[in-house]
Chains A and B, each alone.
Chain A
Amino acid sequence: MSVAVETRSSRATGRPGRRNALRSSGDWARRAPLLPALVFTIIVTQLPFIATLVISFMDWNAYYPNERRFAGFANFRRVITDVNMRSAVVTTIILTASVVIVSLVLGLLIALLLDRKFFGRGAVRTMMIAPFLVVPVAAALVWKHALYNPEYGLLNGVITKIWSVFGSSNPPQRDWITSNPLISIEAALIWQWTPFMMLILLAGLQSRPLDVIEAAKIDGASSMQIFWHMTMPHLRQYLELGGLLGSIYVVQNFDAVFTITSGGLGTANLPYAIYQTFYNAHDYGRASAAGVVVVIGTILIATLALRTVSTLFREETAR
């Protein structure tokens, strides 16, 4: 694979033959430390996917183990025409986009607040990080039972309290999850991801070249001008990094959907739908076909995303 490159380099040095053999042994010495990690990753992440691809063309339900056979594109046809799967695709897109975008915007606003000096800045920053450090399942449980619960949750509790201050004994009591299932999940996730975005954007803000900004200020630039023409361009790559990493994790979210609604009320996203097809319905063929569809979708989005990161890290390596 690297032969072409090697011949070129040996020709450049003008000493073919021996030099070439030396070099290629050096190449293997270079590759050796990389191989364990690479081989391990290929075995654990790529082989299962190939197996998924094979199973996706099979008619295989664990309840009928003797009827396993080749099914052609039948599973894919069922996945694409299945209403539940289609709604899972839509749910995944809405969930991921809304959580990532809202947390990015909130994270940016909070990062701008925290970039200023004020009393207790360190304490506020620590408070802001806390949501991200609660184990996701634990956070989902707390939101579901301690905040959203219609009878004793904090949200309705606070409403009761406020209403009673104004002398009303009949406060509105909402069943938050039932009335807005997807938004309930989104709110919990936004609460967890905003600190993450804030941390990355704050780091971006604090790496601004301050002397240039001072110079602009002396030249009479307004705060708004400085923000749009200097801060935002500088923050762009940090916004992209936060958006990319956030998407990778939110698109795969299982914990919150599983805990808060168990995928009910139209909140099943793709990870949850596939989990159910295989874990409850034991329809291995269809679950695999759905997995393949997800991967194809992910590859399309990831190609775009990877291009973004590669520009980000090219600057670093060009250093």
Chain B
Amino acid sequence: MSITDVGPVPATRTASGEPRRVRRPRGGILLGVVAWLVGILFVLPVLWMLLTSFHSEQKAATNPPSLFAPLTLQGYREFFGSSSGVSPWPALANSLTASVLSTILVLLLAIPAAYALSIRPVKKWTDVMFFFLSTKMMPVVAGLLPIYLFAQKIHALDNIWFLLLLYTSMNLPIAVWMMRSFLAEVPVEMLEAASVDGAGLIRTLRQIVAPVVAPGIAATSLICFIFSWNELLFARVLTATFAETAPVFLTGFVTSQGLFLAKVCAAAVAVSLPVLVAGFAAQDKLVQGLSLGAVK
């Protein structure tokens, strides 16, 4: 049994898996109902957040909750600064810049590294792999202070480019692990054939390696994007007004006066939307990515 032989996750079991379900149909239905109830329980906070975001502040703050209150876009208007005048767009743009560019940078660094750890492995490549993983285990807070002081010294505080570099280092170990496990799938015979035919490194990479690992690149990008988009601690410590990211913007959204539940929910929905859409669209990639490529 090998862990790489795991099939795509949502695939329903075929042929050999079916017959045993027939035996106990009643228990099957009951367990199906239980599964539905559990699913509904888990999705409930998300649905509640969505529903509340479309309620007026007054209706959002009733007890017992008003399920069927009229829907309004007021919360979203507030999120986009209709009364405060504070637009979320700079924060969203910062998050997008940091997430997308750091993901590209991660791929540019991780793919060659993964190549040197799988297809033409360096000596002691396993040690290198574990070095990368061990950096991921080091708590971020342990290096936070020197990073802050360094940023202060080079005047890189509140600078999205500095944050972007940190996100790159945060995701690079994960990306190296994932890309290695995908590159290990590349048929070595094909590479040898290509080199016999005189294909150069770039051509080999483009024509043989890329098609096989494209799904892996997609999974890696998805995970790196999500982790960068979600990051709070670095952004909170290292940014202020100009380079503020969406999660930091969210934390500043709770006011001490008046009702704010509807607009906080609207903000939570708006900030989570890119991740929700990307994650739902690529559920299998998500599993591959989260397991560092161990589950394919």
Chain A positions within 8 Å of B, measured between CB atoms, are 2, 5, 27, 30-34, 36-38, 40-41, 44-49, 51-52, 55, 110, 113-114, 116-139, 141-143, 145-147, 149, 151-152, 154, 156-158, 160-161, 164, 191, 194-196, 199-200, 202-204, 206-207, 209-211, 214, 217, 234, 237-238, 241, 245, 248, 251-252, 254-255, 258-259, 270-271, 274-275, 278-279, 284, 287-288, 291-292, 294-295, 298, 302, 305-306, 309-310, 312-313, 315-317, 319
- Beta-carbon contact of B142 and A49 below 8 Å: yes
- Beta-carbon contact of A136 and B63 below 8 Å: no
Q: Which residues of B contact A41 (CB under 8 A)?
A: 131-132, 135, 169, 172-173
| Separation of A292 and B39 alpha carbons in the complex (Å) | 42
- Beta-carbon contact of B61 and A152 below 8 Å: yes
Contact partner of A214 among B16, B61, B133, B279, CB < 8 A? Answer: B16
Q: Can you name 7 A-B residue pairings with CB atoms under 8 Å?
A: A41-B172, A49-B138, A113-B35, A124-B35, A141-B251, A200-B295, A252-B141
Q: Which residues of B contact A123 (CB under 8 A)?
A: 39
- Beta-carbon contact of B2 and A315 below 8 Å: yes
Q: Which residues of A contact B237 (CB under 8 A)?
A: 275, 279
- Beta-carbon contact of A135 and B112 below 8 Å: no
| Separation of A142 and B44 alpha carbons in the complex (Å) | 12
Specify the chain B residue showing the minimal Cβ separation from A287.
B145
Q: Tally inter-chain residue pairs, CB-CB below 8 A.
A: 353
Q: Which residues of B contact A51 (CB under 8 A)?
A: 143, 145-146, 149-150
Residues A45 and B279 in contact in the complex (CB < 8 Å), given A127-B43, A130-B46:
no
Contact partner of A113 among B11, B29, B38, B261, CB < 8 A? Answer: B38
Q: Which residues of B contact A214 (CB under 8 A)?
A: 16, 20
| Separation of A37 and B135 alpha carbons in the complex (Å) | 13
Residues A206 and B6 in contact in the complex (CB < 8 Å), given A137-B250, A141-B264, A195-B42:
yes
| Separation of A214 and B116 alpha carbons in the complex (Å) | 42
Residues A288 and B42 in contact in the complex (CB < 8 Å), given A44-B166, A146-B48, A203-B295:
no
Say if the beta carbon of B204 comes within 8 Å of chain A.
Answer: no
| Separation of A225 and B159 alpha carbons in the complex (Å) | 59
- Beta-carbon contact of B112 and A138 below 8 Å: no
| Separation of A203 and B143 alpha carbons in the complex (Å) | 35
Residues B35-55 near A (CB distance < 8 A): 35-36, 38-40, 42-43, 45-46, 48-49, 52
- Beta-carbon contact of A45 and B143 below 8 Å: yes
- Beta-carbon contact of B147 and A141 below 8 Å: no
Say if the beta carbon of B1 comes within 8 Å of chain A.
Answer: yes
Chain B positions within 8 Å of A, measured between CB atoms, are 1-7, 9-13, 16-18, 20-21, 28-29, 31-32, 34-36, 38-40, 42-43, 45-46, 48-49, 52, 60-65, 109-110, 112-113, 115-117, 120-123, 126, 128-150, 165-166, 168-169, 172-173, 176, 181, 184, 226, 229-230, 232-233, 236-237, 246-247, 250-251, 253-254, 260-261, 264-265, 267-269, 271-272, 275-276, 279-280, 283, 286-287, 290-292, 294-295
| Separation of A210 and B287 alpha carbons in the complex (Å) | 21
Q: Which residues of B contact A210 (CB under 8 A)?
A: 13, 16-17
- Beta-carbon contact of B261 and A145 below 8 Å: yes
- Beta-carbon contact of A118 and B145 below 8 Å: no
- Beta-carbon contact of A199 and B290 below 8 Å: yes
Q: Which residues of A contact B11 (CB under 8 A)?
A: 206
| Separation of A160 and B250 alpha carbons in the complex (Å) | 30
Q: Which residues of A contact B173 (CB under 8 A)?
A: 41
- Beta-carbon contact of B122 and A31 below 8 Å: yes
Specify the chain B residue showing the minimal Cβ separation from A212.
B1
Specify the chain A residue showing the minimal Cβ separation from B292.
A245
Q: Which residues of A contact B261 (CB under 8 A)?
A: 145-146, 149, 152
| Separation of A36 and B111 alpha carbons in the complex (Å) | 11
Q: Which residues of B contact A255 (CB under 8 A)?
A: 230, 232-233, 247
Specify the chain B residue showing the minimal Cβ separation from A150.
B63
- Beta-carbon contact of B64 and A160 below 8 Å: yes
| Separation of A298 and B135 alpha carbons in the complex (Å) | 11
Q: Which residues of B contact A152 (CB under 8 A)?
A: 60-63, 65, 261
| Separation of A8 and B129 alpha carbons in the complex (Å) | 24
Q: Which residues of B contact A44 (CB under 8 A)?
A: 165-166, 168-169
Which residue, A34, A214, A288, A310, has most C-beta atoms of chain B within 10 A?
Answer: A34
Closest approach, in angstroms, between the C-beta of B8 and any C-beta of chain A? 9
- Beta-carbon contact of A48 and B2 below 8 Å: no
Specify the chain B residue showing the minimal Cβ separation from A122.
B10
Contact partner of A271 among B46, B139, B166, B294, CB < 8 A? Answer: B139
Specify the chain B residue showing the minimal Cβ separation from A147.
B45
Closest approach, in angstroms, between the C-beta of A244 and any C-beta of chain B? 9
| Separation of A234 and B6 alpha carbons in the complex (Å) | 12
- Beta-carbon contact of B142 and A291 below 8 Å: yes
Q: Which residues of A contact B279 (CB under 8 A)?
A: 129, 132-133
Q: Which residues of A contact B48 (CB under 8 A)?
A: 142, 146-147, 154
- Beta-carbon contact of A137 and B232 below 8 Å: yes
Q: Which residues of B contact A128 (CB under 8 A)?
A: 38-39, 42-43
Residues A38 and B64 in contact in the complex (CB < 8 Å), given A254-B232, A275-B233:
no
Residues A310 and B130 in contact in the complex (CB < 8 Å), given A34-B113, A44-B166:
yes
Q: Which residues of A contact B13 (CB under 8 A)?
A: 117, 206, 210
Closest approach, in angstroms, between the C-beta of B99 and any C-beta of chain A? 11
- Beta-carbon contact of B113 and A38 below 8 Å: yes
Which residue, A131, A209, A284, A313, has most C-beta atoms of chain B within 10 A?
Answer: A313
- Beta-carbon contact of A305 and B137 below 8 Å: yes
Specify the chain B residue showing the minimal Cβ separation from A307.
B130
